[in-house]
């Protein structure tokens, strides 16, 4: 594919919490995916994002784990992006349709109107309707991963009592997922009283900024108390995370020592 559709509202909604480096890695992976019309091969992931350091590789791997799904195809480990697959399938369908129409001599002509009516309609133009306030028509909704969403991502609206962008928007920030319910409840209560109107992407950005400000300020949410089972699971996850981090450090050290031994 030489081009693909990019919808800023949808992209900002899904990536508003990313750092500049994470956003750059994600964009490079998407460009590589659409250019090759194939999943990201695991062996080529760092080459495609042009990593120059271990920090770059760590960021690339985090983006893959966050937005892509690991799979095995023909004995190779690849990373699949569901939305990329849908867009590529639609593009192939359009290309095949255009190729078929070209073989048949182009798109069929619409002969539903009499010849004279077609000529007249082609020569005349409807007079513009008066618009003293110079209001532009409302844009149509853009495609997204949520086809049943009723809110136009570019149409301002007042926040509803059940509006929730999901805790994933805080991924990559210092705010933990368990703080999301309390931060969101205060955010909704404040703006419902104010009657503020914003677009979907602006609501998400505003919420992330507010949650980060609360986490770094005096209104930091308190972690809810865990029962015995939850505490045990949390401790187990903590030990596993420590073990994974230690293993990664050992692997990196072994790799550095192996490179030093190469003449």
At 227 the pLDDT is: 60
Q: Region of 157 please: left (phi>0), alpha (psi -120 to 50) or beta.
A: beta
Count of C-beta atoms within a 10 Å radius of residue 38: 15
Q: How many CA atoms lie within 13 A of 25 on its CB side?
A: 25
Q: Quick check: helix, strand or coil at residue 56?
A: helix
Q: Hey, where are the domains in the chain?
A: 8-85, 157-216
Q: Domain 157-216 - what CATH class?
A: mainly alpha
At 230 the pLDDT is: 65
Instruction: Look up residue 43 and give its DSSP letter.
Output: G
Integer distance in angstroms from the first to the last C-alpha of the chain?
Answer: 42
Q: What is the pLDDT along the chain (263 residues), one digit of tens a residue?
A: 677 777 787 788 888 889 999 999 999 999 999 888 899 999 999 999 999 999 999 999 999 999 999 999 888 999 999 988 988 888 888 877 766 766 666 565 655 555 545 444 454 444 555 555 555 444 444 444 444 444 455 688 888 888 888 888 887 778 888 888 888 988 988 888 888 888 888 888 888 888 888 888 887 888 776 666 666 777 788 788 888 888 888 888 877 776 665 55
Question: Which pair of tokens denotes residue 127?
Answer: 């007079």
Question: Which pair of tokens denotes residue 110?
Answer: 């619409």
Q: Domain 8-85 - what CATH class?
A: mainly alpha
Distance CA 91, CA 5 (A): 10
At 69 the pLDDT is: 93
Answer for the pair 183, 175: CB distance below 8 angstroms, yes or no.
yes
- β-strand 197-198 against 157-158: which pairing, if any? antiparallel
At 79 the pLDDT is: 94
Q: Where are the alpha helices (DSSP H) in the chain?
A: 8-15, 20-36, 45-48, 54-67, 82-103, 115-123, 180-194, 200-216, 228-261
Residues 6+ apart with CB under 8 A from 92: 37
Instruction: Look up residue 199 and give its DSSP letter.
Output: -
At 33 the pLDDT is: 92
Beta-bridge partners for 70: 79
**pTM (whole model) above 0.85:** no
């Amino acid at each position: 594919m030489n081009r693909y559709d990019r919808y800023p509202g949808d992209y900002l909604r899904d990536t508003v919490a990313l750092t500049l480096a994470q956003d750059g890695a994600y964009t490079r992976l998407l460009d590589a995916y659409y250019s090759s019309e194939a999943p990201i091969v695991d062996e080529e992931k760092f080459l495609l994002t042009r990593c120059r350091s271990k920090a770059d590789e760590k960021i690339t791997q985090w983006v893959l784990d966050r937005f892509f799904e690991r799979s095995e195809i023909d004995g190779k480990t690849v990373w699949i992006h569901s939305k990329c697959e849908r867009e590529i399938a639609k593009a192939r369908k359009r290309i095949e349709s255009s190729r078929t129409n070209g073989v048949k001599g182009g798109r069929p002509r619409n002969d539903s109107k009499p010849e004279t009516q077609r000529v007249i309609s082609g020569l005349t133009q409807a007079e513009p309707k008066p618009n003293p306030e110079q209001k532009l028509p409302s844009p149509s909704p853009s495609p997204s991963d949520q086809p049943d969403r009723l809110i136009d991502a570019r149409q301002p609206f007042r926040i509803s009592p059940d509006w929730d962008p999901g805790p994933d928007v805080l991924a990559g920030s210092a705010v933990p997922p368990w703080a999301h319910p309390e931060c969101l409840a205060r955010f909704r209560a404040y703006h419902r009283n104010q009657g503020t109107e914003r677009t979907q992407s602006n609501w998400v950005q505003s919420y992330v900024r507010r949650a980060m400000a609360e986490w770094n300020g005096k209104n930091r949410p308190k972690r809810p108390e865990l029962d015995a089972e939850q505490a045990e699971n949390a401790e187990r996850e903590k030990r596993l995370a420590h073990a994974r981090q230690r293993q990664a450090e050992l692997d990196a050290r072994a790799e550095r020592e192996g490179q030093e031994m190469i003449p």
